[in-house]
Structure 1
Amino acid sequence: MDEATKSLVVGVMETLKDFAAGKLSTEDCRRRYRQMISDCESMELVADRSTGLMQSLCYAHSTGNFALFTGIYRMQNDSLTPLSFCGDGAFNVSIAKLHHTISSRVSVGRSVSMLPGDAHPLPHTVYTCLVPGESRIRLIFAAISSSHFFSENEFVKTANVVGALRDAADFEMNPQYFSFFSERRTDVSEWISARIDEGLSVYVHYFLFNMVERIFSHMGLPEMLKISASIKDALHAQCGTAGTIVFELSMREYLVFIPDSTGTGCEKKKASFDYHGSSIPSQSYAFTIRKHADIIDFWNEVLEFEYRLAAGEKRK
C-alpha cells in the first residue's frame, strides 16, 4: 500500500474515532469528509494516468492487497528481468538476486512465500508465482508485503489475469498457422498405425488429378468442394473393398487405403472420373505398408512421385 493510501486510511480511522468520542462537531466531520473525497479523487486520477496495462495491474494489486511492492518479471537464462512494477524500484534488485531460489521453488498458479530471513535480507515477506497460461514466455509475478491482510488468493488471481493478458497479446501479435496437410498427415499416419497394430497390411493408392483445379477453379469453392466429394465417392466405388477409406490431401490429391490380412502385395489400380460430362485424367502410384517403419517411407515416396511428375511437366 502506498503512502497516499495509508494516509487516507489513517485519516478515515481517526475521523471516526474523534467523532465517536465527541471531539468533532458535525460540521468539522463534514469538512474532513469533503477533504477525503477530494484526496480520493486525486488518487484515482493518478491511477488512471498510470502508463501501461501491466503497470496499472501492479498498482491495483499493491493498493488492493496491502503490498509494498508488486512486479512482473521475465524468467530467462537464470535471470529475472523486470517488465513492470509498482513501488520502490530498489526492490527489483532484491528480487533479481533471488532468481536461483525463485526458479527452484516457484510453481504455476500457486503462491510461494519467503518469510524474512528465508534466502533474503528483507524485513518483509516475498511472494512469487509462475504466471499460468499457454505462452512460452515465462513470467514471474512477485509481491512484497508485511501486512497480515495480504491475501495469497488475491495474489494468485492477479497472476492469472497477467497470464490471460500475456496469452491474448501473444495471440494478437504472433501469426497463427494451420497446415491442412500436416493435420491430415497426422490423421492418416494414426489410421495406418492402428491397422498395423491389428496385424493388417495396408495397400495405398495415391491418385493425382492434376487438372481438376485448372478445369473447375472458375466455378467457386462450394462447387469445388462438391467435386472433391464426388472424386472421393468415385474412388471408393472403383477401388474400394470392405474397410477401404479415402483421404483427400488437397483438391487434386487423394489416398485410397485398403487394409488386408493376406499381405500378398499391392496391384496398381486405375480410376476414371467424369463430372457433368467432363473426363478428368489422373496419375496414380501404389505402395504397400506392412510395418510402422514403412509409414515414413510411404510419405517420402508420395513426395518423390509428385516431384517426378512436376519435373516431367516442366520438360514438356
Structure 2
Amino acid sequence: MALTTEQLLTLSKLEGLGKVTLTALQDYGFLKKVSIDTSRELLDFYVHCKTKKLFRLSKIYTLHEVQEAHEQAQIILERSQRLNIRCISKYESSYPVPLRSLTHQGKDDAPCLLFYKGDLTQLKDRTGIAVVGTQKPTQEGIKTAQYIASYLAERGINIVSGLADGCDTYAHIGALNQKGITTAVLAHGLEKVYPYKNSSLADRILASGGVVLSEYPIGEKLVKSNFIQRDRIQAGLSAGTIVIQSSKNSGSRYAVFSSYENNRPVWAVNFKNPELLNSPEVQGNISLIKDMYAKPLSSSQLSQVLSLVP
C-alpha cells in the first residue's frame, strides 16, 4: 500500500506544504507500505514523518485543516472525473517510467501526481522525443519543426511538446499530419488550454490517440514558474530533446538543461542559411552547440536521433 492520489492531493492542499515535502511523504509512505483511512490517520502520518525529520517544513497542522484540504481534494477529483481528467501517482504502474527517474541536483524531481486526458499507454509503448523552441520561429523554423516531428512520428516516436505558440504548435501539427502520436504537457489544470487558440489542437491530439497532461490539478492558478516546471516534464517524458529555434533567453533552455542533467541527449538544429545566422531566433541554438550542451542537427542527420534513442 501507499498514499492514494486523494491523500496526496489532500496533503498538497495544505497551506505551505510544497513539492519537496510532498515527495518525502510520498516516498516514505511507499517505502513503509502505509495504509491510511481517515484524515486523523493522515495527520498522524505527517506528524510521524515530521518527527523523523524527513523534511524541513516545521508547520503543525490541525485536524480541521486536514479535513478542509480533504474536502478540496474530493471536489477536484469529482470535477476532474466529470471532465474526463484522470489522476495517477508516481508509484502506480501506469506512471511513465522515464519521468519517474527524473532528478534535479541529485534529488527526485518527478511529479508526485499527474493529471491527464487520453491514452496514457502511449507513453509506455512509444519512445518520446521532446521537440521544443521559440514561440516566434522564422518560416524556416516552422517548416523544420513540422518536418522533424513528421519524420519521427512516422517512425513511431511520440512527439512531446508544450502546446505553446510557435515551435510547439508546429511540432504537434507535424506529428498529427503523419497520423502519429503526440503528447502535450501543460503548465496549468486541464480544464482549460493556454493559449486558448490551441484548444482545437488539443482536441485533435486526443482524437488521434495522444495525451494531454499536467502536474497541476484543475483550478490551479497559472504563474510564470509553472512553465519552467512544465519544461522539465517534457524532458522527463522523453529519451532526448530537439531544439528547433531558440533565442539566448528562450524558455526552451529549461527543457535542455533538464535533459542534459539527466544524461539524455540534446540536439539543436544547426541552420546554415547565412540570412538566419544573425537572427535572434537561432542564437540560442548556436550557443547550445558552442557550449556543448547540444549536438548539431540537420535534416540529413535525423537517423542519428533514432539510433541514439533506446
TM-score interval, normalised by the smaller of the two chains: under 0.3
Of Structure 1 and Structure 2, the greater strand share is in 1
> Which of structures 1 and 2 has the larger relative contact order (alpha carbons within 8 angstroms, sep 6+)?
2
Q: Which has the larger radius of gyration?
A: 1
Give TM-score scaled by structure 2 length.
Answer: 0.24
Give TM-score scaled by structure 1 length.
Answer: 0.23
